[in-house]
């Protein structure tokens, strides 16, 4: 059954880019401190110290997918001579639904780059755990440069890798004519990019002090959907050893099948002026990128499709069957995910509109939904609808996806709950409480530059605890941190760790709190 929230996921998921990185001259830093140099397969890289870490920015992991390489599988990055300066982040990939870019022009098709952060003084042979991060953004926006890993690397003694991957119809276009050009018969180029970045990491991360045998693949929102795809993709086997899924449970973010992906692609190429099937591939490679973005308009970008050689089975179905790349799992959501979506689309909802929408969306179950989520219990139609949408989508699907994982592998479940958390810059609506909304946890885990205000000291402390949990999971496969609240593995009692700045605690009432038994029979 198609969930009523999914159209919103395709249009307003907003994880976006900030690309301001100061230039640093080659050689030594002021005061004579040497800058770190590593050698990867393509050549030598010179990075720079930053806080308690060292960073290597704008590192190519694949050849530029431009010109004749547009809408093709990624190819290895070319070698370079001498020492490449790695002190500037690369442009974001072309954005198909841009939101909040500081410089809307700082985008490019030449965008297959990653950033690496390591503790100061890390050297080859250190065998530090690796956290491999994939940003979200509805598969149509965002960039890895938004997520600095300096603090995570320093605090947890890990190596953090944050990547770009192709977006929109440049990243996901289910045309058989394009799929026939690669052996996987797939148009999921963004997923191919992620696999290419993982292979680059396996081959090169030891040069930074990382352990290629201890890679944790992680992502939020569409990035979490990408983790789901990697868990189910046969070609991803062995490329990672643990997985983190933030606000993107696999049973919610289902992949389209080939027929639906092709129908969406045909609608796009008609609008792009490339309807001639005999010449569609060549035509698409000559249309300017800006014109492709214009042609996409409000058409959905549904991410990787299933049913091809790259992703034979929908990830939720693959995980349910037990035929997937089994690794320990850390999974969770924020307390009030849908406040973000409702604030952006229906911030001034009236009680009459709330009632009409619930009845129209939930049919015969509508009266019971209204009885369970009365406006009087929440204080406003905005908060009531946010609760309906949070519970019926992210919260309960997180619980159900976690149960499936927990029956097969060690699984750890969290709920982020800071009633004073900031939201994304540009997403605030005066007078609305948007705390604990979708993306709220990102500023607590990464050096995230899109928060609407800085964290308070109490929130910084919560972020420190969270980083330590994530770092322990990356290192050991279980988030056990001495001196911090114990985080039990999920099991029949459905234990969930609540990440609260006042008192991190374990709860066994998560599913009851979000009325998941009620929603189970209605989705």
pLDDT of residue 8: 43
pLDDT of residue 107: 94
Place of tokens 């929230």: 5
Over 70: is that where the pLDDT of 251 sits? yes
Residue tagged active-site, from 97, 140, 186, 221 = 221
Residue 276 to residue 164: CA distance in whole angstroms: 31
The mean per-residue pLDDT over the stretch 248-260 comes to: 96
The β-bridge partners of 496 are: 507
The mean per-residue pLDDT over the stretch 139-144 comes to: 94
pLDDT of residue 5: 45
DSSP string, 366-404: HHHHHHHS-HHHHSSHHHHHHHHHHIIIIIHHHHHHHHH
Q: How many CB atoms lie within 10 A of CB 255?
A: 25
Over 80: is that where the pLDDT of 14 sits? no
The mean per-residue pLDDT over the stretch 433-458 comes to: 95
pLDDT of residue 289: 96
Distance of CA 453 to the CA centre of its chain: 22
The mean per-residue pLDDT over the stretch 47-75 comes to: 97
pLDDT of residue 61: 98
Tokens of 260: 């639906």
Phi, psi of 99 (to 5 degrees): -150, 115
The mean per-residue pLDDT over the stretch 448-462 comes to: 94
Over 90: is that where the pLDDT of 25 sits? no
Q: How confident is the model at residue 461 (pLDDT cuts 50, 70, 90)?
A: very high
In 3D, which of 92, 120, 453 has the Cα closest to residue 289? 92
In 3D, which of 218, 252, 239 has the Cα closest to residue 412? 218
Average pLDDT score, the chain: 92
Question: E strands of 71-146, at which residues?
Answer: 83-85, 92-93, 107-108, 113-119, 128-134
The mean per-residue pLDDT over the stretch 4-29 comes to: 38
- Catalytic residue flag (residue 221): yes
Distance of CA 177 to the CA centre of its chain: 29
Over 60: is that where the pLDDT of 222 sits? yes
Q: How confident is the model at residue 10 (pLDDT cuts 50, 70, 90)?
A: very low
Over 70: is that where the pLDDT of 19 sits? no
pLDDT digits (tens, 9 = 90+) for 375-398: 999 999 999 999 999 999 999 999
CATH code of the region 331-520: 3.40.50.1820
**pTM of the shown model:** 0.93
pLDDT of residue 105: 66
Over 90: is that where the pLDDT of 106 sits? no
Residue 219 to residue 35: CA distance in whole angstroms: 30
Residue 75 to residue 63: CA distance in whole angstroms: 5
Q: How confident is the model at residue 494 (pLDDT cuts 50, 70, 90)?
A: confident
Q: What are the residue ranges of CATH 3.40.50.1820 in the chain?
A: 6-327, 331-520
Among 28-32, 46-50, 271-275, which stretch is predicted with the lowest mean pLDDT? 28-32
Coil, strand, or helix at residue 486?
Answer: coil
Q: How confident is the model at residue 485 (pLDDT cuts 50, 70, 90)?
A: very high
How far is the CA of 188 from the CAs of 98, 156, 169, 185, 202, in angstroms?
A: 20, 33, 9, 9, 21
Over 60: is that where the pLDDT of 43 sits? yes
Residue 422 to residue 418: CA distance in whole angstroms: 9
The β-bridge partners of 172 are: 188
pLDDT of residue 302: 80
Over 80: is that where the pLDDT of 28 sits? no
Q: Which fold has domain 6-327?
A: Rossmann fold (3.40.50)
pLDDT of residue 38: 97
Over 90: is that where the pLDDT of 22 sits? no
The mean per-residue pLDDT over the stretch 268-288 comes to: 96
Q: How confident is the model at residue 33 (pLDDT cuts 50, 70, 90)?
A: low
By the 8 A CB rule, do 514 and 395 touch?
Answer: yes
pLDDT of residue 305: 97
In 3D, which of 337, 386, 392, 332 has the Cα closest to residue 362? 392
Over 70: is that where the pLDDT of 1 sits? no
Residue 24 to residue 38: CA distance in whole angstroms: 17
């Amino acid at each position: 059954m198609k969930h009523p929230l999914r159209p919103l996921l395709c249009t307003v998921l907003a994880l976006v880019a900030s690309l301001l990185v100061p230039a640093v001259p080659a050689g030594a830093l002021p005061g004579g401190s040497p800058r770190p140099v590593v050698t990867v397969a393509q050549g030598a890289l010179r990075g720079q110290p930053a806080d308690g870490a060292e960073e290597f920015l704008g590192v190519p992991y694949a050849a530029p997918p431009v010109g004749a390489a547009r809408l093709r599988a990624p190819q290895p990055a070319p070698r370079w001579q001498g020492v490449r300066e790695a002190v500037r982040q690369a442009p974001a990939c072309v954005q198909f639904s841009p939101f909040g870019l500081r410089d809307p022009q700082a985008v490019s098709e030449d965008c297959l780059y990653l950033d690496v952060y390591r503790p100061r003084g890390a050297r080859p042979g250190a065998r530090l755990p690796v956290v491999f991060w994939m940003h979200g953004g509805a598969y149509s926006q965002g960039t890895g440069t938004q997520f600095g890993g300096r603090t995570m690397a320093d605090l947890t003694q890990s190596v953090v890798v944050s990547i770009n991957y192709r977006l929109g119809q440049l990243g996901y276009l289910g045309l058989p004519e394009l799929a026939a050009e690669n052996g996987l018969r797939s148009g999921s180029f963004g997923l191919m990019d992620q696999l290419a970045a993982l292979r680059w990491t396996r081959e090169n991360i030891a040069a930074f002090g990382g352990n290629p045998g201890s890679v944790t693949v992680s992502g939020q929102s569409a990035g979490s959907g990408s983790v789901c795809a990697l868990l189910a993709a046969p070609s991803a086997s062995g490329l990672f050893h643990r997985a983190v899924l933030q606000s993107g449970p696999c049973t919610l973010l289902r992949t389209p099948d080939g027929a639906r992906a092709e129908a969406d692609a045909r609608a796009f190429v008609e609008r792009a002026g490339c309807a001639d099937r005999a010449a569609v591939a060549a035509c698409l490679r000559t249309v300017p990128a800006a014109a492709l973005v214009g042609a996409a308009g409000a058409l959905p970008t549904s991410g990787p499709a299933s049913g091809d050689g790259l992703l034979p089975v929908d990830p939720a179905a693959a995980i349910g069957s037990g035929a997937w790349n089994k690794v320990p799992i850390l999974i969770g959501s924020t307390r009030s995910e849908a406040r973000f979506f409702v604030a952006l689309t229906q911030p001034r909802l009236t009680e009459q509109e709330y009632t009409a929408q619930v009845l129209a969306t939930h049919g015969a179950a509508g009266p019971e939904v209204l009885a369970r989520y009365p406006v009087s219990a929440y204080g406003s139609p905005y908060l009531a609808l946010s609760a309906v949408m949070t519970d019926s989508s992210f919260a309960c699907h997180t619980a159900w996806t976690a149960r499936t994982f927990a029956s097969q592998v060690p699984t750890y479940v969290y709920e982020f709950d800071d009633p004073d958390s900031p939201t994304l810059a540009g997403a605030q609506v005066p007078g609305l409480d948007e705390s604990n909304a979708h993306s709220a946890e990102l500023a607590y885990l990464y050096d995230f530059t899109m928060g609407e205000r800085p964290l308070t000291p109490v929130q910084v402390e919560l972020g420190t605890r969270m980083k330590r949990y994530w770092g322990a999971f990356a290192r050991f496969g279980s988030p056990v941190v001495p001196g911090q609240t114990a985080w039990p593995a999920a099991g029949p009692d459905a234990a969930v760790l609540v990440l609260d700045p006042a008192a991190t605690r374990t709860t066994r009432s998560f599913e009851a709190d979000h009325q998941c038994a009620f929603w189970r029979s209605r989705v």
